[in-house]
Amino acid sequence: MTISSSLNAGVAGLNANATRLATISDNIANSSTFGYKRASTEFESMVITSARGAGTYSAGGVRASTQRMIEDRGAIIGTSNALDLAVSGRGMLPVVPSVRMTDSGIGDQPMMMTTTGAFRTDAAGVLRTDSGLVLLGWPANADGTIPTYPRDSMSALQPVVINSNQTAGDPTTTMSLGVNLPATETEAGSAGDTLPLSVEYFGNLGTSETLDITFTPVIPATGSSNSWTMVIRDSGLDGAVVGEYELIFYGARGSGGTLASVTTVSGGAYDATTGTLALTVAGGPITVTIGRAGDPNGLTQLSDSFAPTAITKDGSPVGNLTAVEVDENGYILASYDTGFIRRIYQIPLVDVPNVNGLTPLNNQTFQVSPESGSFFLWNAGEGPTGSVVGYAREGSATDVAAELTALITTQRAYSSNAKVIQTVDEMLQETTNIKR
């Protein structure tokens, strides 16, 4: 029994080291495979006789168990493609192997995960890798906001589709007026000429419209009034007045030249707390900032010059798509030739309690299993997850030097187990020869 157990232990040793050799060869073969996760072999002893003082010992041998070290990450390698993606830290990109769209999204296709991918648009504009993995994301609203989607379900995820021929415009919703009015024009005896100002804004359909603003000084009989009448007309409404206001500026030392008060005569109301006008133009509401009382950055009245000092606004005319990039938070941003940047998708990162418990599949992809636990969709950079890196791929997690060292020790162990079998064979031969 003891000799036979030695033979069985030697055979088990050969099998165990052959298993380790298989994982080593797999690791070395994939040392240049992007996103490859190293396979590891662990040995576990098997004990048959554990009684003390029995006088005999039966070898139990060894058993090999393999595991994919999914939590190990390879180095981030820079590329020249904006849609080459990697994950720096914990979390994975959601993908599916193909696209079969239904009314509810991607249908019953199982979600898969990967830590990196070289995504390109196909003929239909779908982002996919050469191996057919389709990137999933949450679509943004027209204004770039991301709705609230379920985080424990893939029902709201959709294939990311980018139409390279699309155009887009961004309507103006906010504007800031920094204008200096000449203080000398409000003095007694001044000409009282109306000062015009035209500011462009963009409508809902990408059309260019203007706010025609006039400033008329209030001329007193004596002294200086420091008062103006501001009238705002909208070209989109055929020049209709959308706001009329009485402006009074401080003349005292310290705060001289800044707004003292704004009185609404007609049109959008003035908010003294924020220093804004709530105008309603042809395309909808626009918030125009003219400054709070005492604010030197809005409308001012100084010296004898009329000068727009700082006029800013959002929005842009209709433009053509020129580039698509992904930021560290997983937002896919589309850039247009007018300078407009629009958020079109958000890529969540998938995380599970036990990453090494995921089921490995082809093409460096993984699926949820009972050992991994249920998945959760995180915003990149929040919770336990890392960030999304564009222009990058994750390299293989294989350390070739360590694998070659393990290869040497495995070869020696295999040879030693073979020697055990040879020795047992010789001993059994001696036992057989006793009869002769």
42 bridge partner residues: 65
Give the confidence band of 104 by pLDDT, cuts at 50, 70, 90: very low
**SS3 state at 176:** strand
Give the confidence band of 314 by pLDDT, cuts at 50, 70, 90: confident
Per the model's pLDDT, the better-predicted residue between 99 and 370 turns out to be 370
User: Is residue 434 predicted with pLDDT exceeding 50?
Assistant: yes
Structure tokens at 70: 């999914």
Structure tokens at 222: 């004596």
Average pLDDT over residues 159-167: 83
Q: What is the pLDDT of residue 102?
A: 45
Instruction: Check: CB of residue 103 under 8 Å from CB of residue 416.
Output: no
Average pLDDT over residues 91-105: 73
> What is the rounded distance in angstroms from the CA atom of residue 82 to the CA atom of residue 228?
53
Return the H-helix or E-strand segment holding 16. helix 2-29
User: Is residue 103 predicted with pLDDT exceeding 50?
Assistant: no
Per the model's pLDDT, the better-predicted residue between 428 and 299 turns out to be 299
Q: What is the pLDDT of residue 101?
A: 47
pLDDT tens digits, residue range 322-356?
899 999 999 999 998 888 888 999 999 999 999 99
> What is the rounded distance in angstroms from the CA atom of residue 130 to the CA atom of residue 142?
30
Domains of the chain by start residue, with CATH: 2-69+399-433 (no CATH), 76-165+327-394 (no CATH), 174-314 (2.60.98.20)
Provide the percentage of residues in the chain whose pLDDT is more than 90: 68
Q: What is the pLDDT of residue 249?
A: 95
pLDDT tens digits, residue range 44-86?
888 877 667 666 777 878 889 899 999 999 999 999 999 999 9
- Cα angle: 292, vertex 296, 298; to 5 degrees: 60
Give the confidence band of 1 by pLDDT, cuts at 50, 70, 90: low
Q: What is the pLDDT of residue 107?
A: 61
pLDDT tens digits, residue range 110-123?
889 999 999 999 88
User: Is residue 134 predicted with pLDDT exceeding 90?
Assistant: yes
User: Is residue 403 predicted with pLDDT exceeding 80?
Assistant: yes
Q: What is the pLDDT of residue 401?
A: 95
Q: What is the pLDDT of residue 57?
A: 73
Average pLDDT over residues 36-45: 92
> What is the rounded distance in angstroms from the CA atom of residue 228 to the CA atom of residue 265?
12
Mean pLDDT of the chain: 90
Per the model's pLDDT, the better-predicted residue between 431 and 27 turns out to be 27
Average pLDDT over residues 309-326: 88
- CB under 8 Å to 75, separation ≥6 — which residues? 394, 395
Average pLDDT over residues 258-264: 94
Q: Which of 223, 245, 350, 339 has its CA nearest to residue 291?
A: 245
Instruction: Check: CB of residue 27 under 8 Å from CB of residue 39.
Output: yes
273 bridge partner residues: none
